[in-house]
Amino acid sequence: MIAKKQFLKSKPVCKVTFKLSPEEAKSAETVRLVGEFNDWDTAVAPMKKLKDGSFSQTVSLETAKSHQFRYLLDDKEWENDWQADAYVPSEFGYEENSVVAL
């Protein structure tokens, strides 16, 4: 889930902390945050795995726009954010992408 949004006063950037619960992660060993903000690069560094089995990552994103993203579990299964700000149809197949609105 999108755990926290911290808007910076000095520039048009928001630090967004994404957190995926153990239930959402489905016992995955690695989770990658993949989206428009990293050109849908499936080889980005994995999110940090926490002691409780959840995963977390903070990313600086441009404000005044929406960003599409998904989570990649163990480099093979896609998962949406269960509490995203919105969902939009993906360009690929019948899936939807999660959206964080800033």
> Residue 20 has what pLDDT?
94
Task: Write the pLDDT tens digit of every residue in 43-94.
Answer: 999 999 999 999 999 999 999 999 999 999 999 999 999 999 999 999 877 7
Q: d(Cα 19, Cα 33) in Å, to the nearest integer?
A: 10
Predicted local distance difference test score (pLDDT) of residue 49 = 97
Number of domains in the chain: 1
Q: Which residues pair with 86 in a beta bridge?
A: 99
CA dihedral defined by 54, 60, 88, 53, rounded to 10 degrees? 0
Supply the CATH number for residue 78's domain. Answer: 2.60.40.10
Strand partners, 5: 16
R_g (Cα) of the chain, nearest Å: 13
pTM value surpassing 0.85: yes
What does the alpha-carbon distance between residue 101 and residue 94 come to, in Å, rounded to a whole number?
22
Write out the residue range of the structural domain in which residue 31 sits.
Answer: 2-101
